[in-house]
Amino acid sequence: MILPRTFRSQARAHRRALSPEAALRHGESLALQPGLLHLLESARTIAAYLPSDGEIDTGPLIALLWERGKHVFLPLLRFAPHKHLAFGLYRPDTALLPNQYGIPEPVGTPVLDHPGQLDLALVPLVAFDSQGHRIGMGGGFYDRTFAYLKAPGAAPAPLLVGLAHECQRYPNLPAEPWDVPLDGVATERAFYSFNDKANAP
């Protein structure tokens, strides 16, 4: 059995091995995926993220969201009362400052009161599998932020959709009890939906 931490660092190294040109090319293809574009139609308030550490380039998709008049938010690291994320409005003219991991965050913009105000959350990941399991950077930020979705009848509920390179897809990842499963994942090659909520009509 390969240790989770070893797996995470190997998968991160695999992701980082892609060139910035490949990450951008993949990001352009991602922004053309019909399954993803379909979900965007019914979403108005959308969380995205700025890429880091070899992640697929979200620039083309964010440009498309702005073009379509969507309200785009970016994650803001919060450490109290526990590690979680808030979401700050991101517009083309928003000032950004790097957070403690060097990822730019909006400053001085409106912050959502609750993640349930999002219609759709586009989620970064290190690895995913065909059941919607996700391995992230290991901070538990996304899991804690969306843990409330696991309560029966939790509402309102944003759709959770991972963005990734195809090379981040693995056959079977171990599921941890606190993991919040993804509804879908979009890559440069396909849109994978893991339940009816993320299905094209």
Ligand X SMILES: Nc1ncnc2c1ncn2[C@@H]1O[C@H](COP(=O)(O)OP(=O)(O)OP(=O)(O)O)[C@@H](O)[C@H]1O
Point out the annotated binding site for ATP. Answer: 134-142
Residue 135 interacting with ligand FFO (CB under 6 A): no
Distance, in Å, from the CA atom of 166 to the CA atom of 161, rounded to the nearest integer, reads 14
Q: Taking the complex as a whole, how short is the minimal distance between the CB of residue 152 and ligand FFO, in angstroms? A: 26
Partner whose footprint covers residue 86, from ligand X, ligand FFO, none (CB < 5 to 8 Å by kind): none
Which is nearest to 168 in space by CA: 9, 7, 14, 2?
14
Question: Please, which residues have CB within 8 angstroms of residue 152's CB and are 6 or more apart in sequence?
Answer: none
Roughly how many angstroms between the first and final C-alpha of the chain, as a whole number? 40
**Which is nearer to ligand X, 79 or 178 (by Cβ)?**
178
Partner whose footprint covers residue 72, from ligand FFO, ligand X, none (CB < 5 to 8 Å by kind): none
Residue 128 interacting with ligand FFO (CB under 6 A): no
Candidates 21-29, 60-68, 104-112, 142-150: pick the segment binding ligand X (CB under 6 A): 142-150
**Residue positions forming the annotated binding site for substrate:** 50, 55
Partner whose footprint covers residue 147, from ligand X, ligand FFO, none (CB < 5 to 8 Å by kind): ligand X
**Which is nearer to ligand X, 25 or 83 (by Cβ)?**
83
**Which is nearer to ligand X, 97 or 151 (by Cβ)?**
151
Distance, in Å, from the CA atom of 66 to the CA atom of 51, rounded to the nearest integer, reads 17
Candidates 15-23, 24-32, 47-55, 184-192: pick the segment binding ligand FFO (CB under 6 A): 47-55
Tell me which residues touch ligand X (CB under 6 A): 135-144, 147, 176, 178-179
Tell me which residues touch ligand FFO (CB under 6 A): 49-52, 55, 75, 77, 85, 101, 103, 124, 136-139, 141-142
